Chain A
Amino acid sequence: MEILNQWAFIGMFFLLAPILPAVPILLAAVISPKKPNAIKQATYECGVETVGDTWVQFKVQYYLYGLIFLIFDVEMVFLFPWALAYKQLDFFAFLAGLLFIFLLSDALVYAWRKKVLEWV
């Protein structure tokens, strides 16, 4: 199986890639001094005691950016095969791709108009 042999390499890479950077961490864990105390381990907060829960509520803005990104990311699922086969396709493929991209840019234009892209 040609394809599996290819991916055996990638799989091995996925298994070994975390190990290499982990080596210095482990080494440091062995070598470095360990004298923990409460003040040292306190959460960094400019010298003030932490107030309240860390998981404070954040702006919905971040979610909206994530949302637009998700849509464009899924778009890639279709655009990559399209671009891949593009040279062997006829002019109709261009029109299909154009319509696809146009429909999606609509969403971007809407977000722009509604000032979703405005950082507040």
Chain B
Amino acid sequence: MQCDNIINTLAPCLVQSGWNGDLANFASIFLGVIILATFPLLVTIVLIWFERKFAARIQDRLGPNRVGPFGLLQPFADVIKLLGKEDITPAGADKLIYNIAPVMMVMSVLLIWAVVPLSPIHVGMDLEIGALYIISVASFGTLSVIFASWSSNNKYALLGAFRVVAQLISYEVPLALSLLIPVMLAGSMSLVDITQAQAGMWFIFVAPLSAILFFISSQAETGRAPFDLLEAESELVAGFNIEYSGMKFALFFAGEFMHVFTNGVLMAVLFAGGYIGFGGLENSIPLLGIVFLFLKASVFYMLSLLIRNAIPRVRIDQLMNFNWKFLVPVSIVNVVMMAFLLKVVQALGIAPTPELANDFVANIPQTLVLFAGNVVLGLLVMNTVSSRIRKERLQESANRAIVPMGAGD
């Protein structure tokens, strides 16, 4: 049975067993939403354990190993502990908004899962505007930061929130700009179409620069190291969530963990072929599609864990400079270059014809041209940056030579 979403599979079955058509439709939508929304939350519980273990091994520790086999039950123990924590609302807080903010944070990530194609037949909803939907719902996350800080009536919270919001909105620009490329290549904003368009060739080979840009800026969107100005413990006390405790604080963290993995999934869907495996296996056994998607997502997820644990936090001025003076200009040039090369490829007649779009060999010429363009641009950018840095270093050492001993630095 060829179905394009969860609803279409369930509703007919219910009608057959004697349900009213509308009710069956409603029930299947309801069930679909519940399953799809609970799923990432459950995955998060495992991820928390995994991440702690991962970080511990990098730092030469054991990590959680007491509760259950390999400490697997640790997250559950944590949840039980958190449930027993007293819930403190600071005096002068705006109670309603104070309580809405953590919920909104989790919600902003959950909503993304509504459009992610898990396998050829398991899609929450194949929205026509999927790609735009993703960056739209991300703005709820930014909003929740403002809500949390403002409602908790605290100077540090507000100060931290201003920085975080500045960071989040800044990195949304290269994020959206690099999202343009898969849309352009697939000719569609639907995530299902974008996945299908990669049946011949993954976009990460066609547009490696956009993939890198997307990965970096989505890493910054989660607010994880090296971009964890959100919770720069040593500088801002704790940032926007300083007044939160117990379960509400945990929700902010759960939202963050979930966001990192969701970003891995998005990377897989947008650039690494999503549920597409090898030999069309995912079409005969749809559940394998989910496995493929999650394997690919885990690769990106582990990459971001590695980055988190290996790279120290940047300063806020470095953070902003890196975005506005590096990522944004590069992604603008990248969009222009990709658009130009696509037209060149079309003019040369080496673009795969629509019938052959899913064929690996037919995609090779186009991929070679675009990949070469990406490499050239990447080298150019790296060259410019390194020569600039060299100049700055020379200047610095020249300045240092003049300053008498002891007065420098």
Contact = CB atoms under 8 A, between A and B. Distances in A.
User: Is B truly associated with A?
Assistant: yes
B180 A87 contact: no
Contacts of B339: 86, 94, 97-98
Contact of A9 (B7, B102, B188): B7
Contact of B103 (A25, A29, A111): A25
B21 to A, nearest CB: 12
B10 interface: no
Interface in B59-112: 79, 82-92, 99, 102-104, 106-107, 110-111
A68 B110 CA distance: 28
A82 to B, nearest CB: 8
Interface stretch (B46-54, B324-332, B369-377, B393-401): B324-332
Contact of A91 (B107, B336, B343): B343
A54 B103 contact: no
Interface stretch (B158-166, B199-207, B268-276, B277-285): B158-166
Given A65-B169, A101-B335, A12 B183 contact: no
B364 interface: no
A54 B155 contact: yes
Contact of B32 (A9, A55, A118): A9
Interface stretch (B215-223, B246-254, B378-386): B246-254
Interface in A19-54: 20-22, 24-25, 27-29, 31-36, 38, 40-46, 50, 54
B403 to A, nearest CB: 23
Interface string B1-26: 00001010000000000000000010
A87 B89 contact: no
Contact of A35 (B86, B237, B248): B86
B176 interface: yes
A29 B91 contact: no
B95 to A, nearest CB: 12
B266 interface: no
Contacts of B41: 20-21
B127 A73 contact: no
A69 interface: yes
Contacts of A17: 37, 106-107, 110-111
B306 to A, nearest CB: 28
Interface stretch (B286-294, B296-304, B315-323): B315-323
Interface in A56-104: 56, 58, 61-62, 65-66, 68-69, 72-73, 76, 79-80, 83-88, 91, 94, 97-98, 101
B173 interface: yes
A73 B172 contact: yes
Contacts of B180: 79-80, 83
A21 B247 CA distance: 10
B124 A44 contact: no
A118 B321 CA distance: 7
Contacts of A98: 336, 339
Contacts of A10: 114, 125, 127
B309 interface: no
Contacts of B343: 91, 94
Contact of A6 (B89, B125, B242, B335): B125
B122 to A, nearest CB: 13
A69 B336 contact: no
Contact of B132 (A27, A80, A86): A80
Given A43-B91, A112-B324, A118-B317, 5 more contacts: A16-B34, A21-B255, A32-B247, A43-B154, A119-B320
Interface of B: 5, 7, 25, 29-30, 32-34, 36-38, 41, 79, 82-92, 99, 102-104, 106-107, 110-111, 114, 124-128, 131-132, 135, 153-156, 158-159, 162, 165-166, 169-170, 172-173, 176-177, 180-181, 183-184, 187-189, 237, 242-243, 246-248, 250-251, 254-255, 316-317, 320-321, 324-325, 328-329, 332, 335-336, 339-340, 342-343, 346-347
Counting from the closest, the 4 A-B pairs by CB-CB distance are A119-B317, A28-B247, A21-B106, A83-B184
11 contacts: A9-B124, A20-B106, A21-B41, A41-B89, A44-B156, A45-B156, A66-B166, A72-B176, A83-B184, A98-B336, A108-B324
